[in-house]
Amino acid sequence: DQQVKQNSPSLSVQEGRISILNCDYTNSMFDYFLWYKKYPAEGPTFLISISSIKDKNEDGRFTVFLNKSAKHLSLHIVPSQPGDSAVYFCAAVDSSYKLIFGSGTRLLVRP
Amino acid sequence: DAGVIQSPRHEVTEMGQEVTLRCKPISGHNSLFWYRQTMMRGLELLIYFNNNVPIDDSGMPEDRFSAKMPNASFSTLKIQPSEPRDSAVYFCASRQTSTGELFFGEGSRLTVL
C-alpha cells in the first residue's frame, strides 16, 4: 500500500495561471516533506521542502502548503511557465530517513 | 562536482541475462539509495545504504535483485536472471546527511526483451 499518494497523474494549465499539485500521505509519523521535479531523460531534482512544524514554505514562484490534520500537502506554482512542464514527485521522510515518493504528476503548462 | 554518476545509461538485454547497474555517489555523501521508476508506481525505493551498510532492503522485489556497496564511492545493483517486468528506469541517489537533500543520477533505462 502506497504511503504517499499523488492521485492526479496529469495536470494541464495555461501559462500565467496557478498550478496546484496535490499529495496525500497515510503515515502521521512523517515529519518532513519534499517536492522533486523531473524532466525527461534526467534524474529528479529537489525543488522545495517543508517541515511538519510549519504549514507553509515559499521559494519564489513555488509554495508548499502542509495540512497535518488532513495528511495533505500541495505545491503551488504561480505564475506557471512553460518551462515548469515536468513530472513532479511528492516525497516524505520516514523515521529511518528514507525518502518515500509518490507516483508523480505530469504538469503541462500551455503557452 | 560531477554529481551522481550512473552507468550504463541504457541497457537492452534478453530475458534470463544478468544485468549490472553501477553508481558512483557524490564524494563525501554517506547515504546511497537505489530507486526504480515505473509508470504505475512512480519512484519505488529498492534499497538504502548508510556508510556502505545496507539499512533497508525491504523494497527489493525478489531474490533476483541484489545490491552491494563495497566502498563509499561505488555501488552496484544486479538482476539475475532478468525478466521483462524488470524493464524500468533505475535511479541512484546520494545525500550527505540523514536530513540533507537527495541528489539523483540521470538514471539507467533497462529494457528486458
Nearest by CB to B45, which of A32, A42, A98? A98
C-alpha–C-alpha distance, residues A5 and A90, integer Å = 8
pLDDT in tens, chain A (111 residues): 689 999 999 999 999 999 999 999 999 889 899 999 999 989 999 999 999 999 999 999 999 999 999 999 999 999 999 999 999 999 999 888 888 999 999 999 999
Q: What span, in angstroms and rounded, lies between the C-alpha atoms of A53 and A68?
A: 9
| Chain B: closest CA distance from residue A82 (Å) | 22
Task: For Cα atoms A49, A97, B87, give the angle at the middle one, nearest 5 degrees.
Answer: 90
Is residue B105 within 8 angstroms of chain A, CB to CB? yes
- A43 touches B at CB < 8 Å: yes
